[in-house]
Amino acid sequence: MNSAHSLDPSSWVSNYGDYLYSFCRLRVGDPATAEDLVQETLLAAFKSRDMFRGQSSEITWLVSILKNKISDHYRKKDVLREAGDYSEWTNNESIDNFFDHATGHWLSEAAPQAWNSADSSLLKDEFEDVLGQCLQKMPSKLAPVFMARFFDEEEAETICKVHGLSPSNYWVILHRARVMLRACLEKNWFLTKYPR
């Protein structure tokens, strides 16, 4: 039996549309762009349905196509083209206010606070909403690299190649993104839900 016959394109929107949209929205931030990329993904999947070999589930196959569409989006958009200006671009007040310029150490008022172990009591959906909001607030030059590394678990070499980055710019981006995400999660989740 041809595995393409086991696909059911008529059910893709109802079965996977919300998931694909959420997956994409988290990575591109803009709702309209996410909708467009999901539509492009479904169209590409429909056109190449004869290539589906059944070595993965439908949703895994669709997500892999969507990941390629997201990468293409960032390549075309050239969000990451000017790699040379990352250090300057991210050296704004929000970053500068975290560290002592003389020593490079955390400023006492900005130092990370200990996070309580709240695994058993975290409200997963609520936390994911806050995480999503923090990721959407992350500057567009940082978010796609951070998402590729920590959500898609891509290798550094692949990310650098896809986004046209040098290894040093890659590490600067990840560092800045982590600092911003930690500050946002502390402010909007950990210190509000679990104050000291």
Q: What would the pLDDT profile of 154-196 be if each residue is shown by its tens digit?
A: 899 988 888 888 888 898 898 888 888 888 888 887 666 555 5
Task: Report the pLDDT value the prediction gives residue 191, as an integer from 0 to 100.
Answer: 61
How far, in Å, are 12, 42, 71 from residue 135 at the CA level? Answer: 27, 25, 17
Ordered alpha helix ranges (H), the chain: 12-28, 31-47, 58-77, 86-90, 93-96, 124-137, 143-150, 156-163, 167-185, 191-193
The class that CATH gives domain 3-77 is mainly alpha
Q: Which fold has domain 83-193?
A: Arc Repressor Mutant, subunit A (1.10.10)
CB atoms within 10 A of CB 61: 19
pLDDT digits (tens, 9 = 90+) for 3-53: 444 788 888 999 998 889 888 888 777 788 889 999 999 999 999 888 888
Q: Where in the chain is the domain with CATH 1.10.10.10?
A: 83-193
Q: What is the pTM of this model?
A: 0.54
What's residue 37's pLDDT? 93
pLDDT per residue as tens digits for the range 94-149: 556 666 666 666 677 766 665 555 454 445 667 777 887 888 888 877 888 888 88
Could you tell me where in the chain the CATH 1.10.1740.10 domains are found?
A: 3-77
